[in-house]
């Protein structure tokens, strides 16, 4: 048993929380859309073919803004294929995932689904095989209310009023050689600048995300951000970060340091963006859209489904990237959410990649049930409880040595403060030692001038780190009540090894 201490001072502000921090990501990939959110003929399908059981789970998850339609998919996508009468829409080859896209679901259908789940739309434009003009056409179709050929077509397709899309991504992972239309930083930066300037001429109120590196480990990381921002700094609001984490070679302790890697990634990108600002003698601050993050067994040690189905031709909605998440994955996932909140001053938008079937917190079976993966729980609880302001909670605890990252604190925590109460999120990264965390609440009690009590206490932990929820056993892993008590000015939380907890103080 390890003893740890912390202090919760409501004045140790990080920033107000932008609700877009709890965003999601839906891509035309595998069974995400077809057989995932959209399955006409399913017993739970509504009159437009959307699975209502999935709708309810996405609502419970609490996602705010959802990025669409990709991802790698967008770099070969013609958005016009997804509007108009369904029986006239073309079938296209999707080069990104070696599949056939039927275009049954496009912009109008996806907005109808968003209306059901209560989330906002974040659109990506194709800067891989297409360019500025096609981005302008989509923006005009989506956001303009003046009668034009494009807006008349939108009305003919069933929507008189604009979609009013606020956030737009200028392409996707253009630094990656796997990307259709991949190009260097200088070429991409110039194209993104021209596109951003033109889009603002159509709609000055849009918020634009320029592509950062598709990972901290990319050989061009750092120089890519600098060159791209030197071109686009005056014309964009965000730069993207993408990062995925997984356990390698059964080394759970190293995997549990993933939050530290994410923090260093964020801080490096912030430093580069602020350096560009300094060279331009500008007070402007570029924010981060961490619009792809998750646990993903990309380099598959676990027998998942990450290969493209080349040997099967060009299938429709093949089973791709259907990772099965365990209790260990969920604890790391919860720590990544803590890290995002700890950087809420600069991470103003984030998208969990992805939502259904594809590296997802929600799984479905065709004609069958939908269920929650282990990662569902930390996201849904954090999204529900984290409002108001993010607050630093320094923890004094032991540490372990990561081969990649050096000394790593065993416990990590953050709090949020709103008008109704305080939420504390904490993770125990140790694979061997339980911990007793004692949190000094005296600054909070003085500020409130009243006693505080535990209103909710949630713990995610399983003695079997590799326990998972499956089609055969959909509720094997869940959350239970955490052992959390308040005595005067002291909150005490018991944390088993490899655990994540959320405490709501009223």
Q: What is the mean pLDDT of residues 441-447?
A: 94
Q: Report pTM.
A: 0.97
Count CB neighbours of 7 within 10 A: 17
Gap between the Cα atoms of 497 and 4, Å rounded: 13
Question: What pLDDT does 449 receive?
Answer: 86
The share of the chain scoring above pLDDT 70, in percent, equals 97
- Structure confidence by residue, pLDDT tens digits, 313-363: 899 999 999 999 999 999 999 999 999 999 999 999 999 999 999 999 999
- Check residue 303 and give its pLDDT: 47
Question: Residues 239-272: pLDDT tens digits?
Answer: 999 999 999 999 999 999 999 999 999 999 999 9
Within 8 A by CB and 6+ apart from 430, the residues are 2, 253, 256, 398, 400, 410, 497, 498
Known catalytic residue at 207 = no
Domain boundaries, the chain: 2-9+392-505, 18-30+62-244+257-297+339-372
Q: For position 450, what pLDDT does the model report?
A: 86
Classify domain 18-30+62-244+257-297+339-372 at the CATH class level. alpha beta
Average pLDDT of the chain?
Answer: 96
Q: What does residue 402 show for φ and ψ, rounded to 5 degrees?
A: -95, 135
- Is 292 an annotated catalytic residue? yes
Residue 82 DSSP class: G
How remote is the C-alpha of 40 from its chain's centroid? 27
Task: Give the per-residue pLDDT at 301.
Answer: 53
CA 421 – CA 455 distance, rounded (Å)? 9
Q: Above 80 in pLDDT, residue 238? A: yes
- Are 2-9+392-505 and 18-30+62-244+257-297+339-372 the same fold in CATH? no
Among 453, 460, 376, 388, smallest CA distance to 426 is for 460
Question: Please, are residues 484 and 491 in contact by the beta-carbon 8 Å criterion?
Answer: yes
- Residue 309: pLDDT above 80? no
User: Is a pLDDT exceeding 90 seen at residue 298?
Assistant: no
Rounded Cα distance, 396 and 440, in Å: 12
* pLDDT category of residue 187 using cuts at 50, 70 and 90: very high
d(CA 32, CA 274): 37
Question: What average pLDDT score do residues 284-299 get?
Answer: 95
pLDDT digits (tens, 9 = 90+) for 66-107: 999 999 999 999 999 999 999 999 999 999 999 999 999 999
pLDDT digits (tens, 9 = 90+) for 30-66: 999 999 999 999 999 999 999 999 999 999 999 999 9
pLDDT confidence tier of residue 311, bands split at 50, 70 and 90 = low
Beta carbons of 69 and 28 less than 8 angstroms apart = yes
Catalytic residue among 101, 109, 254, 292: 292
Out of 101, 140, 173, 247, which one is annotated catalytic? 173
Q: Which CATH architecture has domain 2-9+392-505?
A: Sandwich (2.60)
Which residue matches tokens 């365990």? 326
Backbone torsions φ then ψ of 472, nearest 5 degrees: -75, -30
According to the model, what pLDDT value does residue 285 have?
98
Q: What is the mean pLDDT of residues 460-475?
A: 98
Predicted confidence (pLDDT) per residue in 374-433, tens digit? 999 999 999 999 999 999 999 999 999 999 999 999 999 999 999 999 999 999 999 999
Measured distance CA(40)–CA(49) in Å, rounded: 4
Span 281-296, average pLDDT: 98
Question: Angle at the Cα of 468 (from 244 to 355), degrees rounded to 5?
Answer: 45
């Amino acid at each position: 048993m390890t003893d740890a201490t912390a202090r919760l001072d409501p004045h140790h502000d990080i920033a107000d929380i932008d609700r877009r921090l709890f965003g999601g990501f839906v891509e035309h990939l595998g069974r995400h859309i077809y057989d995932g959110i959209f399955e006409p003929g399913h017993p739970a399908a509504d009159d437009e073919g959307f699975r209502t059981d999935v709708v309810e789970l996405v609502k419970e998850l609490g996602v705010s803004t959802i990025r669409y339609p990709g991802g790698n998919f967008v770099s070969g996508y013609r958005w016009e294929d997804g509007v108009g009468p369904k029986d006239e829409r073309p079938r296209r080859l999707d080069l990104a995932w070696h599949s056939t896209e039927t275009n049954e679901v496009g912009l109008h259908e996806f907005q109808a689904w968003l209306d059901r789940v209560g989330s906002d739309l974040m659109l990506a434009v194709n800067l891989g095989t297409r360019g500025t003009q096609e981005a302008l056409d989509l923006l005009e179709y989506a956001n303009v209310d003046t009668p034009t050929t494009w807006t008349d077509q939108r009305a003919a397709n069933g929507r008189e009023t604009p979609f009013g899309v606020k956030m737009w991504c200028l392409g996707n992972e253009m630094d990656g050689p796997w990307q259709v239309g991949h190009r260097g930083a200088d070429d991409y930066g110039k194209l993104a600048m021209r596109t951003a300037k033109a889009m603002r001429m159509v709609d000055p109120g849009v918020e634009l995300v320029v592509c950062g590196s598709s990972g901290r480990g990319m050989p061009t990381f750092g120089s890519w951000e600098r060159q791209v921002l030197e071109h686009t700094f005056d014309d964009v609001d965000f730069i993207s970060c993408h990062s995925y984490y997984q356990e390698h070679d059964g080394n759970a302790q190293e995997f549990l340091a993933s939050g530290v890697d994410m923090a260093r990634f964020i801080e490096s990108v912030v430093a580069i963006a602020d350096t560009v600002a300094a060279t331009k003698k500008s007070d402007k601050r570029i924010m981060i859209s961490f619009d792809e993050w998750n646990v993903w067994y990309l380099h598959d040690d676990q027998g998942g489904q990450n290969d493209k189905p080349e040997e099967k031709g060009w299938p429709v909605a093949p089973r791709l990237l259907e990772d099965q998440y365990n209790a260990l994955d969920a604890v790391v996932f919860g720590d990544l959410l803590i890290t995002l909140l700890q950087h809420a001053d600069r991470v103003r938008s984030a998208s969990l990649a992805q939502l259904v079937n594809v590296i997802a917190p929600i799984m479905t079976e065709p004609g069958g049930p939908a269920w929650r993966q282990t990662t569902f729980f930390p996201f849904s609880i954090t999204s529900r409880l984290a409002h108001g302001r993010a607050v630093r909670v320094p923890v004094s605890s032991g540490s372990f040595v990561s081969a990649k990252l050096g000394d790593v604190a065993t416990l990590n925590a953050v709090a949020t403060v709103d008008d109704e109460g305080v939420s504390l999120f904490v993770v125990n990264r140790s694979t061997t030692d339980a911990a007793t965390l004692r949190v000094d609440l005296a600054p909070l009690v003085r500020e409130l001038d009243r006693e505080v009590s535990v209103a909710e206490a949630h713990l995610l932990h399983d003695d079997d780190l590799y326990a998972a929820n499956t089609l055969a056993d959909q509720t094997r892993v869940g959350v239970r009540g955490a052992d959390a008590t308040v005595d005067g000015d002291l909150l005490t939380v018991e944390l088993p090894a490899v655990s994540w907890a959320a405490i709501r103080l009223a």
